[in-house]
Amino acid sequence: MTEPVRRLALPNQPANELRARGFGDALAAARGKHLLIALRGNPDPDGIACALAQAHLGQRMGVAQTTIGYCHEVSHRENRALVKLLGLELRKIKSVREVGNVDFLGLVDAHEVDTELPDGNDYEVLTIVDHHRPASPPKARFVDLRMDVGATSTIFVEYLMELAALDPDVEEDRRIATALMHGLSTDTDDFMLARAADFHAAEQIVEVCDRDLLQDLSRRLIAPTAMDVIARALTALGVRRNFAMAGVGFVTEGERDTIAQAADFLVRREDIDTCVVFGVVGDKYIEGSLRTHSPSVDPAVWLEQAFGSDEKGRPYGGGRRDKGGFRIPIGFLGRVTDRGQLWQLVEHAVRTALLRQSGEDPTPGVLVPPAAAT
């Protein structure tokens, strides 16, 4: 009788210990080797903090060298501030080879190597630690994929507690704790979406955090370009029952995050529960962000049903519990010189797909007035 009671009191404890040890064992296999943590997409605070934590644990486990690389832009101003304030060395890379003698890859806050790394699949993935729903089972020596945490940072806090507890008197440890706390808070919308595991993780590191640094990191600035895109989104906004969508036109690659920021803003409208903001980024991709607080919308599934997959079977969209995004190459059409015409085409195609998926009549022109579509 006592056995089940004990399990109830500590529901995940043994499993967490096992996973942390499994992660430690995987890192130990890279003793004396060079690990590249390849961040996927545009690095965000959760991904950056986890990379930092893994590099730290790697050092403890005897990994000779850890490089943190990324191949897109650190496009969000706050994320550039994070890199600067933490004094991080992130390396922009176009291939794995250029980094030097990389023995293994490690993925954090992602479960696939970024498609922009042409030789990414030539290397063995040692570890995958993530909280995004996978389209297919991820392949690595060690995989810890949890959909019930709000941030991958939560998983790394568990690893640290098990393998190398952070010391409040050590500068480097304080930096890692602060980065993880920031990753936790941004990925959970300031803990509004946090689960029990996230609160527990925050509790474990709160005393190690540098409060001043954390405050500097959390200053939520909105860049003028993001304000412009939010204004465009409001002008083009169409609402059908509890679904809202807005096409914002052309956005440069450096400003792609403004689409997500506009979606973060629009979903706060009180009469809706789901919104999608989309635009053409860098004349190369149709990109969009979905935000939802509907219990019936699973962003990854919803976006896959709306936009399908590429020729390799990879869905154009993905996401986690409350947010998702999609990216569709426009290929040859990007050469169209009449941008007004190109936007009309894109807007029509995306609007039709979104309305079909939200169960609405996709008749052209019904949702967005023509004036808003330019």
| Residues 317-356, mask of contacts with Mn ion (x by CB under 5 A) | ----------------------------------------
Contact 288, 277 (CB under 8 A): yes
Could you tell me which of 267, 222, 228 has the C-alpha nearest to residue 248? 228
Closest to Mn ion by CB, 180 vs 275, is 180
Q: How far is the CB of 50 from Mn ion (least distance, A)?
A: 8
Rg (C-alpha) for the chain, rounded Å, is 21
CB 125 → Mn ion: shortest distance, Å? 18
From CA 185, how far away is CA 163, in angstroms rounded?
23
Q: Quick one: 289 or 358, whose CB is closer to Mn ion?
A: 289
Nearer to Mn ion, 124 or 190 (CB): 190
Nearest distance, CB of residue 220 and Mn ion, angstroms: 17
Q: Which residues contact 216 (CB under 8 A, 6 or more apart)?
A: 81, 85
Binding residue (CB under 5 A) for Mn ion from 109, 144, 298, 304: 109
**What is the residue type of 121?**
N
- Residue 119 CB, nearest approach to Mn ion (Å): 25
- Number of helical (H) and strand (E) elements in the chain, helices listed first: 12, 12
Q: Which residue is nearest to Mn ion (CB)?
A: 46
Token digits of residue 2: 């006592």
Between helix 77-85 and helix 211-218 the angle, nearest 10°, is: 160
- Told to check if 144 binds Mn ion by CB under 5 A, we report no
Segment interacting with Mn ion (CB under 5 A) among 110-118, 151-159, 262-270, 353-361: 151-159
Closest alpha carbon to 46 in 156, 193, 205, 167: 156
Residue keyed to tokens 């060395």:
89
Tokens (6 digits) for 240: 């059908």
Query: In this chain, which stretch among 29-37, 146-154, 229-237, 357-365 interacts with Mn ion, using CB under 5 A?
Result: 146-154
Least distance CB 180 / Mn ion (angstroms)? 12
Residues touching Mn ion: how many (CB under 5 A)?
4
Question: Considering only 29-37, 184-192, 201-209, 226-234, which stretch makes contact with Mn ion by CB under 5 A?
Answer: 184-192
Interacting residues with Mn ion between 203 and 242 (CB under 5 A)? none
Among 78, 187, 287, 298, binds Mn ion (CB under 5 A): 187
**Residue nearer to Mn ion on the CB measure, 78 or 347:** 78
**Order of all β-strands in the sheet with 317-319:** 238-240, 243-251, 274-281, 285-292, 323-329, 317-319
Among 67-75, 108-116, 299-307, 342-350, which window interacts with Mn ion (CB under 5 A)? 108-116
User: At closest approach, how far in Å is the CB of 109 from Mn ion?
Assistant: 4
Parallel, antiparallel or unpaired: strands 238-240 and 243-251: antiparallel
Report the amino acid identity of residue 67. Answer: T
Q: Please state the closest distance from residue 47 (CB atom) to Mn ion, in A.
A: 6
- State the CB neighbour count (10 A cutoff) for residue 92: 11
Nearer to Mn ion, 46 or 304 (CB): 46
Instruction: Compute the least distance from the CB of residue 323 to Mn ion, in Å.
Output: 10
x/- map, 33-62, Mn ion, by CB under 5 A: -------------x----------------
Burial of 98 (0-12, 13-18, 19+ CB in 10 A): exposed
- Name the minimum Å distance from CB 247 to Mn ion: 26
* Gap between the Cα atoms of 83 and 260, Å rounded: 20
Q: Closer CB to Mn ion, residue 135 or residue 239?
A: 135
Burial of 212 (0-12, 13-18, 19+ CB in 10 A): exposed
Q: Which residues here bind Mn ion, judged by CB under 5 A?
A: 46, 109, 152, 187
